[in-house]
Amino acid sequence: MRYVLGLDVSTTATKALLVNERGAVVATAAATYTYSTPAPLWSEQDPALWWQAAISSIRAVLASAKAAPEQVAAVGLSGQMHGLVLLDAADNVLRPAILWNDQRTQAQCERLIAQVPELIQLTGNTALTGFTAPKLLWVKQHEPALYARIAHILLPKDYVRLQLTGTYAIDKADGAGTLLFDLARRDWASALPELLGFDPAWLPPSFEGPAITGQISAAAAAATGLAAGTPVVAGGGDQAANAVGTGAIDPGVLALSLGTSGVIFASTAAPIIEPAGRLHAFCHALPERWHLMGVILSAAGSLRWYRDTLAPSQDFASLLEPAAAVAPGAEGLLFLPYLTGERTPHPDPLARGAFVGLTVRHQQAHLTRAVLEGVAFGLRDSLELMRAAGLRAVTQIRASGGGMRSALWRQILADVLDAELVQVNTSEGAAYGAALLAAVGCGWFPDVASAVSACVQVTERTQPSAQRDSYTAAYAIYRELYPALRDSFARLATLAH
Protein backbone atom coordinates (compact mmCIF):
# COMPACT_ATOMS: atom_id res chain seq x y z
CA MET A 1 0.00 0.00 0.00
CA ARG A 2 1.17 3.50 -0.84
CA TYR A 3 0.20 6.65 1.05
CA VAL A 4 0.33 10.41 0.84
CA LEU A 5 0.75 12.44 3.98
CA GLY A 6 -1.14 15.67 4.70
CA LEU A 7 0.22 18.01 7.36
CA ASP A 8 -1.82 20.92 8.74
CA VAL A 9 0.07 23.48 10.87
CA SER A 10 -2.78 25.23 12.68
CA THR A 11 -2.80 27.78 15.50
CA THR A 12 -3.20 25.21 18.27
CA ALA A 13 -1.97 21.90 16.83
CA THR A 14 -0.20 20.24 13.95
CA LYS A 15 -2.19 17.35 12.48
CA ALA A 16 -0.80 14.61 10.24
CA LEU A 17 -2.87 12.10 8.31
CA LEU A 18 -2.12 9.29 5.92
CA VAL A 19 -4.37 8.76 2.90
CA ASN A 20 -4.20 5.63 0.74
CA GLU A 21 -4.54 5.36 -3.03
CA ARG A 22 -8.33 5.01 -2.74
CA GLY A 23 -8.55 8.32 -0.89
CA ALA A 24 -9.32 6.74 2.48
CA VAL A 25 -7.82 8.18 5.66
CA VAL A 26 -5.96 5.30 7.33
CA ALA A 27 -4.43 7.13 10.32
CA THR A 28 -4.36 10.54 11.98
CA ALA A 29 -2.24 12.07 14.71
CA ALA A 30 -1.87 15.53 16.22
CA ALA A 31 0.42 17.37 18.58
CA THR A 32 -0.85 20.47 20.39
CA TYR A 33 0.76 23.71 21.52
CA THR A 34 -0.23 27.18 22.67
CA TYR A 35 0.35 30.74 21.55
CA SER A 36 1.30 33.71 23.70
CA THR A 37 -0.24 37.17 24.18
CA PRO A 38 2.69 39.21 25.56
CA ALA A 39 0.76 42.49 25.22
CA PRO A 40 -2.86 43.52 24.59
CA LEU A 41 -3.94 42.66 21.03
CA TRP A 42 -0.74 40.65 20.43
CA SER A 43 -0.64 36.99 19.37
CA GLU A 44 2.69 35.23 18.89
CA GLN A 45 4.10 31.71 18.57
CA ASP A 46 7.56 30.15 18.61
CA PRO A 47 8.13 28.45 15.22
CA ALA A 48 10.06 25.70 17.01
CA LEU A 49 6.69 24.51 18.36
CA TRP A 50 5.48 23.78 14.82
CA TRP A 51 8.55 21.78 13.90
CA GLN A 52 8.54 19.73 17.09
CA ALA A 53 4.80 19.09 16.64
CA ALA A 54 5.38 18.10 13.01
CA ILE A 55 8.04 15.58 14.06
CA SER A 56 5.77 14.16 16.76
CA SER A 57 2.63 13.90 14.62
CA ILE A 58 4.44 12.44 11.59
CA ARG A 59 6.14 9.77 13.70
CA ALA A 60 2.84 9.00 15.45
CA VAL A 61 0.83 8.67 12.24
CA LEU A 62 3.44 6.39 10.65
CA ALA A 63 3.44 4.22 13.75
CA SER A 64 -0.36 4.12 13.90
CA ALA A 65 -0.58 2.89 10.29
CA LYS A 66 2.49 0.65 10.67
CA ALA A 67 3.74 2.36 7.51
CA ALA A 68 7.33 2.04 6.32
CA PRO A 69 9.03 5.29 5.26
CA GLU A 70 9.19 4.27 1.61
CA GLN A 71 5.41 3.73 1.51
CA VAL A 72 4.84 7.51 1.70
CA ALA A 73 4.81 8.79 -1.88
CA ALA A 74 4.56 12.52 -1.16
CA VAL A 75 3.82 15.11 1.51
CA GLY A 76 1.39 18.03 1.26
CA LEU A 77 1.33 21.04 3.58
CA SER A 78 -1.39 23.32 4.85
CA GLY A 79 -1.66 25.69 7.77
CA GLN A 80 -2.68 28.94 9.37
CA MET A 81 -2.42 31.86 6.97
CA HIS A 82 -0.87 35.34 7.25
CA GLY A 83 1.62 34.65 10.07
CA LEU A 84 4.98 36.44 9.81
CA VAL A 85 8.12 34.31 10.30
CA LEU A 86 11.40 36.24 10.07
CA LEU A 87 14.75 34.52 9.46
CA ASP A 88 18.31 35.78 9.23
CA ALA A 89 20.83 34.68 6.60
CA ALA A 90 21.60 31.53 8.60
CA ASP A 91 17.88 30.63 8.88
CA ASN A 92 17.76 31.53 12.57
CA VAL A 93 14.35 32.73 13.76
CA LEU A 94 14.67 36.41 14.64
CA ARG A 95 11.56 36.77 16.81
CA PRO A 96 8.38 34.84 17.65
CA ALA A 97 6.02 34.63 14.68
CA ILE A 98 3.26 37.26 14.60
CA LEU A 99 0.06 35.30 13.98
CA TRP A 100 -3.05 35.81 11.86
CA ASN A 101 -5.13 36.85 14.90
CA ASP A 102 -2.70 39.52 16.09
CA GLN A 103 -4.35 42.96 16.15
CA ARG A 104 -1.45 45.36 16.80
CA THR A 105 -1.08 46.77 13.28
CA GLN A 106 -4.06 49.11 12.80
CA ALA A 107 -1.80 52.15 12.34
CA GLN A 108 0.28 50.29 9.75
CA CYS A 109 -2.89 49.24 7.90
CA GLU A 110 -4.02 52.84 7.67
CA ARG A 111 -0.60 53.89 6.39
CA LEU A 112 -0.58 51.11 3.81
CA ILE A 113 -4.04 52.03 2.50
CA ALA A 114 -3.01 55.67 2.16
CA GLN A 115 0.31 54.81 0.51
CA VAL A 116 -1.12 52.35 -2.05
CA PRO A 117 -4.46 53.66 -3.42
CA GLU A 118 -4.65 50.73 -5.88
CA LEU A 119 -4.18 48.14 -3.10
CA ILE A 120 -7.60 46.48 -3.42
CA GLN A 121 -7.49 46.23 -7.22
CA LEU A 122 -3.93 44.90 -7.17
CA THR A 123 -4.09 42.43 -4.30
CA GLY A 124 -7.85 41.82 -4.09
CA ASN A 125 -7.91 42.95 -0.45
CA THR A 126 -7.79 45.98 1.75
CA ALA A 127 -5.23 46.12 4.56
CA LEU A 128 -6.41 44.26 7.66
CA THR A 129 -4.50 43.68 10.87
CA GLY A 130 -4.32 39.94 10.28
CA PHE A 131 -2.36 40.17 7.02
CA THR A 132 1.39 39.76 6.71
CA ALA A 133 2.50 43.05 5.13
CA PRO A 134 1.23 45.29 7.96
CA LYS A 135 3.08 43.07 10.44
CA LEU A 136 6.30 43.61 8.53
CA LEU A 137 5.71 47.38 8.60
CA TRP A 138 5.22 47.14 12.36
CA VAL A 139 8.56 45.34 12.80
CA LYS A 140 10.24 47.96 10.61
CA GLN A 141 8.91 50.75 12.81
CA HIS A 142 9.23 49.20 16.26
CA GLU A 143 12.15 46.75 15.96
CA PRO A 144 14.54 48.40 13.47
CA ALA A 145 17.68 46.55 14.63
CA LEU A 146 15.94 43.21 14.15
CA TYR A 147 14.44 44.38 10.85
CA ALA A 148 17.94 45.09 9.52
CA ARG A 149 18.84 41.40 9.97
CA ILE A 150 15.97 39.96 7.90
CA ALA A 151 17.03 37.66 5.07
CA HIS A 152 13.89 35.56 4.55
CA ILE A 153 10.15 35.86 5.18
CA LEU A 154 8.04 32.71 5.49
CA LEU A 155 4.55 31.74 6.60
CA PRO A 156 4.08 29.11 9.35
CA LYS A 157 3.67 26.00 7.21
CA ASP A 158 6.51 27.17 4.98
CA TYR A 159 8.84 27.31 7.97
CA VAL A 160 8.00 23.62 8.49
CA ARG A 161 8.69 23.09 4.76
CA LEU A 162 12.12 24.65 5.25
CA GLN A 163 12.85 22.21 8.06
CA LEU A 164 11.62 19.28 5.95
CA THR A 165 13.39 20.13 2.71
CA GLY A 166 15.87 22.97 3.21
CA THR A 167 14.02 24.98 0.50
CA TYR A 168 12.17 28.31 0.62
CA ALA A 169 8.75 28.16 -1.04
CA ILE A 170 5.15 29.30 -0.66
CA ASP A 171 1.93 28.28 -2.39
CA LYS A 172 -0.15 30.77 -4.37
CA ALA A 173 -3.08 30.77 -1.91
CA ASP A 174 -0.89 31.66 1.06
CA GLY A 175 1.06 34.14 -1.05
CA ALA A 176 -2.17 35.97 -1.87
CA GLY A 177 -2.85 36.27 1.86
CA THR A 178 0.30 38.30 2.52
CA LEU A 179 -1.05 41.48 0.84
CA LEU A 180 2.09 41.47 -1.33
CA PHE A 181 0.68 39.41 -4.21
CA ASP A 182 -0.59 40.47 -7.63
CA LEU A 183 -3.87 38.55 -7.57
CA ALA A 184 -4.39 38.40 -11.34
CA ARG A 185 -0.78 37.37 -12.12
CA ARG A 186 -0.72 34.81 -9.27
CA ASP A 187 2.73 35.96 -8.12
CA TRP A 188 4.45 38.62 -6.07
CA ALA A 189 3.50 42.18 -7.03
CA SER A 190 6.70 43.42 -8.65
CA ALA A 191 6.61 47.00 -7.34
CA LEU A 192 4.72 46.64 -4.06
CA PRO A 193 7.48 45.26 -1.78
CA GLU A 194 9.93 47.94 -2.87
CA LEU A 195 7.26 50.65 -2.54
CA LEU A 196 6.84 49.63 1.09
CA GLY A 197 10.60 49.44 1.65
CA PHE A 198 10.87 45.64 1.69
CA ASP A 199 13.63 43.73 -0.09
CA PRO A 200 11.97 41.47 -2.72
CA ALA A 201 14.78 38.96 -2.17
CA TRP A 202 13.22 38.16 1.21
CA LEU A 203 10.19 36.58 -0.49
CA PRO A 204 10.24 32.85 -1.36
CA PRO A 205 9.34 31.56 -4.85
CA SER A 206 5.61 30.83 -5.21
CA PHE A 207 4.15 27.59 -6.58
CA GLU A 208 0.78 26.13 -7.51
CA GLY A 209 -0.61 23.79 -4.85
CA PRO A 210 0.28 20.42 -6.46
CA ALA A 211 3.79 21.51 -7.57
CA ILE A 212 6.77 19.78 -5.98
CA THR A 213 8.83 22.31 -4.01
CA GLY A 214 11.53 20.04 -2.59
CA GLN A 215 12.36 16.66 -1.11
CA ILE A 216 12.71 15.39 2.44
CA SER A 217 16.31 16.01 3.50
CA ALA A 218 18.51 13.49 5.27
CA ALA A 219 18.26 15.47 8.50
CA ALA A 220 14.45 15.69 8.27
CA ALA A 221 14.27 11.97 7.48
CA ALA A 222 16.19 11.19 10.64
CA ALA A 223 13.90 13.47 12.66
CA THR A 224 10.51 12.44 11.25
CA GLY A 225 10.89 8.87 10.07
CA LEU A 226 10.05 9.78 6.47
CA ALA A 227 12.31 8.61 3.66
CA ALA A 228 14.92 11.03 2.36
CA GLY A 229 13.99 12.18 -1.15
CA THR A 230 10.22 12.01 -0.60
CA PRO A 231 8.69 14.91 -2.58
CA VAL A 232 6.94 17.75 -0.74
CA VAL A 233 4.33 19.74 -2.68
CA ALA A 234 3.39 23.39 -2.21
CA GLY A 235 0.00 22.67 -0.63
CA GLY A 236 -2.28 25.53 0.37
CA GLY A 237 -3.42 27.89 3.08
CA ASP A 238 -5.88 26.25 5.44
CA GLN A 239 -9.13 27.48 3.87
CA ALA A 240 -8.02 26.77 0.30
CA ALA A 241 -6.79 23.30 1.29
CA ASN A 242 -10.04 22.66 3.17
CA ALA A 243 -11.97 23.58 0.00
CA VAL A 244 -9.95 20.98 -1.93
CA GLY A 245 -10.62 18.46 0.82
CA THR A 246 -14.38 19.02 0.61
CA GLY A 247 -14.45 19.25 -3.20
CA ALA A 248 -15.25 22.97 -3.50
CA ILE A 249 -13.10 23.64 -6.54
CA ASP A 250 -15.58 24.53 -9.30
CA PRO A 251 -17.39 27.87 -9.69
CA GLY A 252 -20.82 27.65 -8.11
CA VAL A 253 -19.72 25.08 -5.52
CA LEU A 254 -19.04 26.80 -2.19
CA ALA A 255 -17.42 25.62 1.01
CA LEU A 256 -18.88 26.52 4.38
CA SER A 257 -16.86 25.94 7.54
CA LEU A 258 -18.83 26.19 10.78
CA GLY A 259 -16.28 26.06 13.56
CA THR A 260 -15.49 28.63 16.22
CA SER A 261 -15.50 31.10 13.34
CA GLY A 262 -17.56 30.74 10.19
CA VAL A 263 -16.25 30.86 6.64
CA ILE A 264 -17.99 31.09 3.27
CA PHE A 265 -15.58 30.20 0.46
CA ALA A 266 -16.44 30.50 -3.24
CA SER A 267 -14.21 29.13 -5.99
CA THR A 268 -14.04 31.34 -9.09
CA ALA A 269 -12.62 30.86 -12.59
CA ALA A 270 -11.15 34.37 -12.60
CA PRO A 271 -10.33 36.96 -9.95
CA ILE A 272 -13.44 38.62 -8.52
CA ILE A 273 -12.82 41.59 -6.26
CA GLU A 274 -15.39 43.17 -3.94
CA PRO A 275 -14.88 46.89 -4.64
CA ALA A 276 -14.63 47.95 -0.99
CA GLY A 277 -12.46 45.00 0.00
CA ARG A 278 -15.08 43.61 2.39
CA LEU A 279 -14.41 40.09 1.06
CA HIS A 280 -11.04 38.39 0.82
CA ALA A 281 -9.99 37.59 -2.76
CA PHE A 282 -7.17 35.03 -2.93
CA CYS A 283 -5.72 32.46 -5.30
CA HIS A 284 -7.07 28.93 -4.87
CA ALA A 285 -4.81 25.97 -4.16
CA LEU A 286 -5.15 24.65 -7.72
CA PRO A 287 -4.08 26.26 -11.00
CA GLU A 288 -6.47 28.54 -12.88
CA ARG A 289 -8.73 29.03 -9.87
CA TRP A 290 -9.23 31.90 -7.44
CA HIS A 291 -11.62 32.32 -4.56
CA LEU A 292 -13.69 34.79 -2.58
CA MET A 293 -13.97 34.36 1.17
CA GLY A 294 -16.05 35.91 3.91
CA VAL A 295 -15.39 35.31 7.60
CA ILE A 296 -17.54 35.81 10.68
CA LEU A 297 -15.57 35.57 13.90
CA SER A 298 -18.12 33.86 16.17
CA ALA A 299 -20.10 31.09 14.48
CA ALA A 300 -20.19 27.87 16.51
CA GLY A 301 -18.33 30.02 19.02
CA SER A 302 -21.58 31.96 19.52
CA LEU A 303 -23.46 28.77 20.35
CA ARG A 304 -20.74 27.62 22.75
CA TRP A 305 -20.79 31.00 24.53
CA TYR A 306 -24.58 30.86 24.76
CA ARG A 307 -24.57 27.32 26.19
CA ASP A 308 -21.66 27.92 28.59
CA THR A 309 -23.12 31.19 29.87
CA LEU A 310 -26.87 30.56 30.00
CA ALA A 311 -27.29 26.77 30.04
CA PRO A 312 -24.01 25.23 31.30
CA SER A 313 -25.70 22.08 32.60
CA GLN A 314 -27.13 21.12 29.19
CA ASP A 315 -25.42 19.28 26.37
CA PHE A 316 -25.81 20.75 22.91
CA ALA A 317 -28.30 18.14 21.70
CA SER A 318 -30.75 18.72 24.56
CA LEU A 319 -30.31 22.49 24.28
CA LEU A 320 -31.12 22.55 20.56
CA GLU A 321 -33.99 20.05 20.53
CA PRO A 322 -36.75 22.44 21.74
CA ALA A 323 -35.62 25.10 19.24
CA ALA A 324 -36.81 22.88 16.39
CA ALA A 325 -40.41 23.55 17.46
CA VAL A 326 -39.95 27.34 17.26
CA ALA A 327 -41.07 28.94 13.99
CA PRO A 328 -38.48 30.68 11.75
CA GLY A 329 -37.79 34.18 13.00
CA ALA A 330 -38.05 33.10 16.67
CA GLU A 331 -41.21 35.19 17.13
CA GLY A 332 -39.46 38.47 16.36
CA LEU A 333 -36.16 37.78 18.17
CA LEU A 334 -32.82 38.40 16.45
CA PHE A 335 -29.26 37.68 17.56
CA LEU A 336 -26.15 39.54 16.38
CA PRO A 337 -23.16 37.14 16.55
CA TYR A 338 -20.49 39.83 16.99
CA LEU A 339 -19.19 38.47 20.29
CA THR A 340 -15.52 38.97 19.35
CA GLY A 341 -15.94 41.86 16.94
CA GLU A 342 -16.51 41.14 13.27
CA ARG A 343 -14.67 40.84 9.97
CA THR A 344 -17.19 40.33 7.13
CA PRO A 345 -19.01 42.43 6.10
CA HIS A 346 -18.22 44.75 9.03
CA PRO A 347 -14.46 44.88 9.73
CA ASP A 348 -15.08 46.28 13.20
CA PRO A 349 -13.28 44.99 16.33
CA LEU A 350 -15.73 47.00 18.45
CA ALA A 351 -18.88 45.31 17.07
CA ARG A 352 -20.73 43.52 19.86
CA GLY A 353 -23.24 40.71 20.19
CA ALA A 354 -26.87 41.41 20.99
CA PHE A 355 -30.32 39.91 21.36
CA VAL A 356 -32.82 42.34 19.80
CA GLY A 357 -36.58 42.04 20.18
CA LEU A 358 -36.86 40.27 23.55
CA THR A 359 -40.33 40.07 25.12
CA VAL A 360 -41.79 38.18 28.04
CA ARG A 361 -43.14 35.64 25.53
CA HIS A 362 -39.63 34.49 24.61
CA GLN A 363 -38.34 31.35 26.31
CA GLN A 364 -35.00 29.55 26.14
CA ALA A 365 -35.98 27.74 22.95
CA HIS A 366 -36.52 31.08 21.21
CA LEU A 367 -33.12 32.37 22.30
CA THR A 368 -31.48 29.17 21.11
CA ARG A 369 -33.13 29.38 17.71
CA ALA A 370 -32.22 33.07 17.43
CA VAL A 371 -28.54 32.20 17.96
CA LEU A 372 -28.63 29.58 15.20
CA GLU A 373 -30.44 31.95 12.84
CA GLY A 374 -28.19 34.90 13.68
CA VAL A 375 -25.08 32.97 12.69
CA ALA A 376 -26.81 31.88 9.46
CA PHE A 377 -27.71 35.53 8.72
CA GLY A 378 -24.09 36.53 9.35
CA LEU A 379 -22.92 33.98 6.80
CA ARG A 380 -25.58 35.14 4.36
CA ASP A 381 -24.08 38.64 4.56
CA SER A 382 -20.92 37.24 2.95
CA LEU A 383 -22.90 35.37 0.31
CA GLU A 384 -24.84 38.51 -0.61
CA LEU A 385 -21.57 40.43 -1.01
CA MET A 386 -20.28 37.68 -3.29
CA ARG A 387 -23.36 37.83 -5.46
CA ALA A 388 -23.14 41.61 -5.71
CA ALA A 389 -19.46 41.32 -6.69
CA GLY A 390 -20.32 39.03 -9.61
CA LEU A 391 -20.45 35.47 -8.27
CA ARG A 392 -22.64 33.37 -10.52
CA ALA A 393 -25.45 31.16 -9.23
CA VAL A 394 -24.65 28.93 -6.25
CA THR A 395 -25.33 25.30 -7.09
CA GLN A 396 -24.18 23.64 -3.87
CA ILE A 397 -22.57 24.37 -0.50
CA ARG A 398 -20.15 21.80 0.92
CA ALA A 399 -20.25 22.15 4.68
CA SER A 400 -17.87 21.06 7.42
CA GLY A 401 -17.09 21.87 11.03
CA GLY A 402 -18.53 20.96 14.40
CA GLY A 403 -21.74 22.93 13.86
CA MET A 404 -22.74 20.54 11.10
CA ARG A 405 -23.58 17.88 13.67
CA SER A 406 -26.90 19.63 14.26
CA ALA A 407 -29.62 18.68 11.76
CA LEU A 408 -31.60 21.75 12.84
CA TRP A 409 -28.69 24.10 12.16
CA ARG A 410 -28.06 22.45 8.79
CA GLN A 411 -31.68 23.04 7.80
CA ILE A 412 -31.62 26.66 8.97
CA LEU A 413 -28.44 27.27 6.94
CA ALA A 414 -29.90 25.64 3.82
CA ASP A 415 -33.03 27.77 4.15
CA VAL A 416 -31.30 31.07 4.94
CA LEU A 417 -28.65 30.60 2.22
CA ASP A 418 -31.26 29.11 -0.17
CA ALA A 419 -28.92 26.38 -1.42
CA GLU A 420 -28.38 22.65 -1.13
CA LEU A 421 -26.08 21.93 1.81
CA VAL A 422 -24.04 18.74 1.58
CA GLN A 423 -21.52 16.91 3.72
CA VAL A 424 -18.74 14.71 2.43
CA ASN A 425 -16.96 11.55 3.46
CA THR A 426 -14.14 13.17 5.41
CA SER A 427 -14.03 15.66 8.24
CA GLU A 428 -10.27 16.10 8.17
CA GLY A 429 -10.45 19.42 6.31
CA ALA A 430 -7.22 21.15 5.41
CA ALA A 431 -4.94 18.17 6.10
CA TYR A 432 -7.01 16.02 3.72
CA GLY A 433 -6.88 18.70 1.04
CA ALA A 434 -3.10 18.90 1.47
CA ALA A 435 -2.92 15.13 1.03
CA LEU A 436 -4.95 15.29 -2.19
CA LEU A 437 -2.61 17.99 -3.53
CA ALA A 438 0.29 15.66 -2.71
CA ALA A 439 -1.47 12.82 -4.55
CA VAL A 440 -1.62 14.99 -7.67
CA GLY A 441 1.99 16.09 -7.24
CA CYS A 442 3.30 12.53 -7.11
CA GLY A 443 1.29 11.46 -10.16
CA TRP A 444 -1.58 9.47 -8.68
CA PHE A 445 -4.02 11.78 -10.47
CA PRO A 446 -3.54 14.05 -13.50
CA ASP A 447 -5.07 17.08 -11.80
CA VAL A 448 -6.91 18.22 -8.67
CA ALA A 449 -10.35 17.79 -10.26
CA SER A 450 -9.59 14.10 -10.89
CA ALA A 451 -8.40 13.63 -7.31
CA VAL A 452 -11.53 15.26 -5.91
CA SER A 453 -13.79 13.23 -8.20
CA ALA A 454 -12.16 9.98 -7.13
CA CYS A 455 -11.82 10.66 -3.40
CA VAL A 456 -14.50 13.07 -2.20
CA GLN A 457 -18.05 11.74 -2.04
CA VAL A 458 -21.23 13.42 -0.82
CA THR A 459 -22.66 11.54 2.18
CA GLU A 460 -25.60 13.70 3.26
CA ARG A 461 -27.77 16.36 1.64
CA THR A 462 -29.98 19.05 3.15
CA GLN A 463 -32.31 20.80 0.71
CA PRO A 464 -33.92 24.20 1.32
CA SER A 465 -37.39 23.67 2.73
CA ALA A 466 -40.66 25.50 2.23
CA GLN A 467 -39.67 27.71 5.18
CA ARG A 468 -36.89 29.47 3.28
CA ASP A 469 -39.17 32.38 2.33
CA SER A 470 -40.01 32.87 6.01
CA TYR A 471 -36.54 34.31 6.60
CA THR A 472 -36.79 37.15 4.08
CA ALA A 473 -38.30 39.73 6.43
CA ALA A 474 -36.16 38.72 9.44
CA TYR A 475 -32.94 38.94 7.42
CA ALA A 476 -33.88 42.40 6.10
CA ILE A 477 -34.24 43.65 9.69
CA TYR A 478 -31.01 41.87 10.72
CA ARG A 479 -29.10 43.83 8.07
CA GLU A 480 -30.37 47.11 9.53
CA LEU A 481 -29.15 46.43 13.06
CA TYR A 482 -25.38 46.84 12.75
CA PRO A 483 -25.58 50.28 11.05
CA ALA A 484 -28.09 51.37 13.69
CA LEU A 485 -25.94 50.17 16.60
CA ARG A 486 -22.41 50.84 15.31
CA ASP A 487 -21.91 54.13 17.15
CA SER A 488 -23.39 52.66 20.33
CA PHE A 489 -20.98 49.73 20.12
CA ALA A 490 -18.03 52.12 19.92
CA ARG A 491 -19.27 54.10 22.92
CA LEU A 492 -19.92 50.94 24.90
CA ALA A 493 -16.31 49.89 24.32
CA THR A 494 -15.18 52.93 26.30
CA LEU A 495 -17.05 51.55 29.33
CA ALA A 496 -15.28 48.18 29.26
CA HIS A 497 -12.33 47.60 31.55
Please tell me whether residue 438 adopts helix, strand or coil conformation. Answer: helix
Catalytically annotated residue among 102, 182, 238, 415: 238
φ, ψ of residue 241 to 5 degrees: the values are -65, -40
**Residue 8: strand pairing partners:** 15, 78
Helix (H) or strand (E) holding 219: helix 218-224
In single-letter form, the type of residue at position 116 comes to V
Q: Give the integer Cα–Cα distance in Å for 122 and 307.
A: 43
φ, ψ of residue 267 to 5 degrees: the values are -75, 140
Strand ranges inside 187-301, DSSP E: 187-188, 206-207, 212-215, 231-233, 236-237, 253-258, 262-268, 280-283, 290-296
Q: Give the integer Cα–Cα distance in Å for 291 and 125.
A: 12
Largest CA distance in the chain: 69
Has 238 been annotated as catalytic? yes
Bridging pattern class, strands 262-268 and 206-207: unpaired
Q: Is the dihedral of CA 304, 307, 312, 314 positive or negative?
A: negative
Residues annotated as catalytic (active site), given as ranges:
238
